[in-house]
Structures are given as structure tokens and as C-alpha cells.
Chain A
């Protein structure tokens, strides 16, 4: 089969603030606010937007694009079930998938005994999973981190706020409630304040016991562990005894770090040994992505809107001369393919995807093949 290697080396521009939090990364800055991933261990290390955030968004878009196209073409939606959602959207093979595939295509060889061509058969039946990968099947699409070009002025801290109680902020809502409900709301406000105070006391005690545990001798430890257990139960009880909700409403919401709006980031995506259809699926995923054009977290704070522009180069499997085949532009509600002169690879690839979706039943494609 003739295959292609495609490189999309371009830029992602943050239209609004852009944030991505990786839990493990924050342990480096313990006690601090949520920070962006960094190359090193210090705050002045190079910042980047993690590839994981882009990978996740695009693979979800792949599944959405397929389902949308099948719905547009009035296809049987049995294809769009939970197995396919997890397989394409997350790269996770649910238990029943193996059984379904065994019934359809025969027993697979063990993971330790590689059968030549077996994986290519999976890729041909399910190019959606071939593009994005799953356990044991490498993704054709490689995605890099988005690295701000100007590292000096790319970071801001946003999102620090205080969550107020609705009834305190807008007392007029009480007028629309019954007397009983009004009393409930007043109780809720009082309970909210006291519960957090009680929990604070227990938290301090837990901290003390943990400190003691570190310094204590082995023989004293069982008693301290028992005390810790008791305190944890007390904390849970305080929450459970609350009449209305377990968590406190009124509390400060901590700030987080974000890449500042307007920052330009260099970003690479590389497709290795792909077919035209696989390239088409990637373009369809980007087209689907343009519906929101949002990456990362804190969307409610208007974070995450991006614009992307990728000049595209392609290399045939038997060649060492890459050719510029066009440019792909993605932004909110806008998706453009600009073919280079004498090249129609990008338009043809997207057409191949649309055609495959139109003739899905005859195409031999299978969303749950794995």
C-alpha cells in the first residue's frame, strides 16, 4: 500500500487565556496555585501547553466527526455505541470489544506472538483508531507540545474569586420563596459557616497527628493511626450531618496560571505512514474542532479559545523529497484548507473521509474493530 508521511509544522495562537493543569506537575510547586506544565523544576523554566490536552481534544473530535457524518448520512447508529466511544475517543478497549472482534474476525493472536500484517488489517478496518492509537496499536498521528515563542511575557495568573451564597448576593430571590424555604435558606447560610469552622478544627488536629506519626516510635504508631481514623470519621460526620449539602458554598476559589491571550506557540503534528483516508480523518477532526476551537480547562472563565495555522508538507513512502501541499487554518467557526498550486492532496483527503462516511455500510469500515 502506498503511504504518506505528513508534517504539519505551524502555530497555535491563544485567542483567550489558555490553561492546562497536570496534577503531577504541580507537586513540584506544592502549596502553590495550579501551574502550567514546565520543562524544569523552577518557576522560571520554559512553559508549554501539554500535548496531552491537544491529543485528547482531537481524538474526541474524531469520534464526534464520525458520528456527526453518520447521522447526516442517515446511517445505522448501532456503530456509535459505548465500545466505539471509548475505543476511538479514549483509546480504551472495553472487555466486550475482544469478544465482538473474535466473533467477526476470528481469534486474535496473543500479544507476544506478532502475526505479520495483523495490525495492518485492524488499521484498514478501523482507520479512526489507527490514527489515534490504542493500547498495543501505535497512533499514526504524533502530536507535540505547544511552546510559546516568547517565553518572557507568556504567563498570567487568573481566576481568583470568591464563591458567594446566592441568597446573600441577591436577597430579592427570598421574596419569591415560601416562608419555609426562606427559613431553610437562612439555616443553610448558618450551617455553611459553622460547618467550615468545625472542619477547620478537625483539619488542624489531623495535621498535628500526622506530624506526630512521622516522629513517633513504632510502638506508639497503632494508637496514632486509630486517632487519625477517628478524626477522619469525625470530619466525614460533620459533612454528612449537614442538612443541605456536603461541601461548603461560600469559599474562595483559587487562582490558576494560564498562557496569556495573544501568545503565539509553535506546534508540530506529524502523521507517519498514513493513508489518504487517515489524513482525511485528521482534517475532519480539525473541522469538528473548529466548532468550539477550545483547548484546556476553565472554559467557563472564557479560557481556551485558540486559532491554528499549519503549513503542510507531505512525503511519499518511496521519496526523500518533501513537498508543500497546502495550509490548514482552524479557528472558532472557521475551517479552511488552502491547497498549494498543483496539489489537491488535502482537499482529496477530506473528500475521501466524506465519501467513506456516505458509503459507510459498503466501505468495510468498522468502528469497533480492534
Chain B
């Protein structure tokens, strides 16, 4: 296992969830799908490919990679599906009504209505994760399974990513970033240990342990929901 930095090209605007995308949760999601919903087995596999300390995986939250020419911009898009005549051709639908007639389909309201939802997205040239783990296995997992990040990424094309660049680095940045700020949610004790007892962030209730949606809140520190990082030109 080695510390690494993963940079991906963001091909379309990303629709963020309420909580930021965490790299360990992303891998867990991929593994759960790979093992057809077997969360126990996925969890065991995750422990084999990612390093952890005190139950906290060495995996950062999503960082947006920006540069002077391309910053982080807010954009918007929509989700819609229009019913067309070809959806209701007689050979596709059986007449279940009296005398084999077709049911009336209401397209201006109710369940069969068009749905149009405006969604807010964020756009940046790159997205970055830091982690400490088995680079070869993680590379194959992402290459074989990952289409995009955030909401509506697997079917509707939001947050599509490509060009996965893995760089092995000397210092593990998955817990604390270059500026010494948390790169992921950390329990307060671990944060102070990593900072040598000089951490100046105040503790607040956060969900640090995995899986986050089931975990209890404990004293900890958390980075902001949206983290940006200046990327160097060599990546282009």
C-alpha cells in the first residue's frame, strides 16, 4: 500500500449530494455493486485495499482542481423525459380494457407526466482525491466501474470523469492536506494526534466513521463541503 494522488478530468458538471463525495465511500459503493449488494464482503475487501487508522480510512474528500484560467463555476442543467407517440404503439401495449381497448394515458398530469427538474451543478477542469492504498487494485476498480461522481452520474451524465492519473507521493495527504487542514472528516483525537496536539480547529459533531449515513455523530473536525486546490500546468 502506498500514498497516492488521483486526478481525474471532469467531463460534465457535477451534482453534489448534501454531503461531499468521500473516496472510501466511492470505493465501497463500487465494491457493493461488484459483489451484487453484499455489503459485508464489500467492507472486507475495502479494508484490504485501503489503509485505516483507528477505523478511519486514509481517503480524502473530493477536491476540485482549478487553475488561473479555469476556476470552479456554478452551472445548471435539467432532468427530463418526454413521452412520445412511439412509446404507446399498439404492438407494444396490450389492450387490457373492456373488449381489448387501450387504457387512456394521461400525459399532462399524474404518474405518467413529463418530469423536468432543474439541477445545480459545479464545473471544474479536474477533480482530485488523496488516499493510501493498493494502487493497482484501485486503478482496475475505477477503470472497470466508475462512470461519474455525485448524483445522477451513472445514467444521466452528470459528473462524468475520464483520464485517471495516479501519482504515487511521499507524504500521505489523505488525512491532512498540504496546509495542515483536514482533507476528510476526522475524530478530534486523531486530528490532534496528527497535528501533534497543536490543532487549532474547534471540535464539532460530525460523522467520521464508516458507513457515514449510519454512524453516530462524535466530536471531530471537517473540511468544507467544497474544497478547491490549485493544479499545476503539467497535468495538461
Q: Are B140 and A95 in contact (CB under 8 A)?
A: no
Q: Is the Cβ of B157 less than 8 Å from the Cβ of A138?
A: no
Give chain A interface residues in 293-321, CB to chain B under 8 Å.
Answer: 313, 315, 317, 320-321
Is B93 a contact of A80 with CB atoms below 8 Å?
A: yes
Chain B residues within 8 Å of A78, by CB: 94
Q: How far is the CA of A41 from the CA of B141 in the complex (A)?
A: 32
Q: Is the CB of B33 within 8 A of A55?
A: no
Contact of B34 among A46, A142, A273 (CB under 8 A): A273
Which of chain A's residues have a CB closer than 8 A to the CB of B225?
none
- Chain B's closest residue to A130 (CB) is B36
Cα of A209 to Cα of B73 in the assembled complex, Å:
34
Q: Which residues 39-66 of A have a CB within 8 angstroms of B?
A: 39-41, 45-46, 48, 50-52, 55-56, 60, 63-64
Q: Which of B62-102 contact A (CB under 8 A)?
A: 73, 75-81, 83, 86-88, 91-94, 96
Which residues B124-166 have CB closer than 8 A to chain A? 136-137, 140-141, 143-148, 153-157, 160, 162
- In the complex formed, the residue of A with least CB distance to B156 is A52
B35 within 8 A of A: yes
B142 to chain A, nearest CB (A): 10
Contact B155 A7 (CB under 8 A): no
| B residues near A116, Cβ cutoff 8 Å | 37
A5 adjacent to B11 (CB under 8 Å): no
Q: Within 8 Å of chain B (Cβ to Cβ): is A120?
A: yes
Closest B-chain residue to A59, C-beta based? B155
Interchain CA distance A320-B31 in the complex, whole Å? 12
Selected contact of A85 from candidates B11, B73, B77, B92, CB within 8 Å: B92
Interface residues of A in 13-33 (CB under 8 A from B): 22-25, 27-28
Question: Are B140's CB and A322's CB within 8 A?
Answer: yes
Expressed in whole angstroms, the Cα–Cα distance for A144 and B162 within the complex equals 10
Determine which of B77, B79, B87, B136 lies in contact with A320 in the assembled complex, contact meaning CB atoms within 8 Å.
Answer: B136
Residue of B nearest to A80 (CB): B94
Render B1-32 as a binary contact track against A, CB cut-off 8 A, 1 for contact: 00000000011110000000000000000100
Is B123 part of the binding interface, using a Cβ–Cβ cutoff of 8 Å? yes
In whole angstroms, how far apart are the Cα atoms of A85 and B137 in the complex? Answer: 40
Q: Does A10 contact B (CB under 8 A)?
A: no
Is residue B105 within 8 Å, beta carbon to beta carbon, of the partner chain? yes
A143 on the B face (CB < 8 A):
yes
Q: B11: which of A24, A39, A321 is its contact (CB, 8 Å)?
A: A39
B111 touches A94 (CB 8 A): yes
In the complex, the answer to whether B12 meets A92 with C-beta atoms within 8 Å is: no
A216 lies within 8 A of chain B by Cβ: no
Is the CB of A358 closer than 8 A to any CB of chain B?
no
Contact of A40 among B33, B75, B86, B96 (CB under 8 A): B75
Query: Which B residues touch A142, using CB under 8 A?
Result: 145, 147-148, 153-155
Among A45, A51, A320, the residue within 8 A (CB) of B160 is A51
Q: How many residues of A contact B (CB 8 A)?
A: 65
Q: Please, how many angstroms separate the alpha-carbon atoms of A67 and B92 in the complex? A: 7
Shortest beta-carbon distance from B216 to chain A in Å: 18
Q: Is residue A86 contacting chain B, with contact meaning CB distance below 8 A?
A: yes
Instruction: State whether A273 and B36 are in contact (beta carbons under 8 Å apart), knowing that A25-B78, A28-B75 are contacts in the complex.
Output: yes
Distance (whole angstroms) from the CB of B193 to the closest CB of chain A: 33
* CB pair A1 B157 closer than 8 Å: no
Smallest CB–CB gap between B100 and chain A, Å?
Answer: 11
Interface check A3, CB cutoff 8 A = yes
Cα–Cα distance between A317 and B34 once the two chains are bound (Å): 6
Bound complex: CA of A315 vs CA of B78, how far in Å?
34
Chain A positions within 8 Å of B160 at CB level: 48, 51, 144-145, 147
A266 at the interface (CB under 8 A from B): yes
B77 and A82 within 8 A (CB): no
In the complex, what residues of B have CB within 8 A of residue A133's CB?
155
Among B112-120, B167-175, B179-187, B195-203, the one that faces the other chain is: B112-120
**Are B81 and A56 touching (Cβ within 8 A)?**
yes
| Residue A89 CB within 8 A of the other chain | yes
Counting CB contacts under 8 A, is A280 at the interface?
no
Give the residue of A23, A81, A147 whose beta carbon is less than 8 angstroms from that of B80.
Answer: A23
| Additional pairs, 17, CB under 8 Å, beyond known A25-B77, A85-B93 | A24-B118, A40-B73, A41-B75, A41-B123, A50-B156, A52-B156, A52-B157, A63-B92, A90-B81, A120-B37, A142-B147, A142-B154, A270-B144, A273-B37, A320-B136, A320-B137, A321-B140
Cross-chain pairs A/B with CB under 8 angstroms, 21 sampled: A3-B34, A24-B118, A25-B76, A37-B157, A40-B13, A50-B156, A52-B157, A56-B81, A80-B93, A80-B94, A82-B96, A82-B105, A120-B36, A139-B155, A143-B154, A268-B162, A273-B34, A273-B35, A273-B37, A320-B136, A322-B140
B residues with CB within 8 A of A: 10-13, 30, 33-37, 73, 75-81, 83, 86-88, 91-94, 96, 103, 105, 111-112, 116, 118-119, 123, 136-137, 140-141, 143-148, 153-157, 160, 162
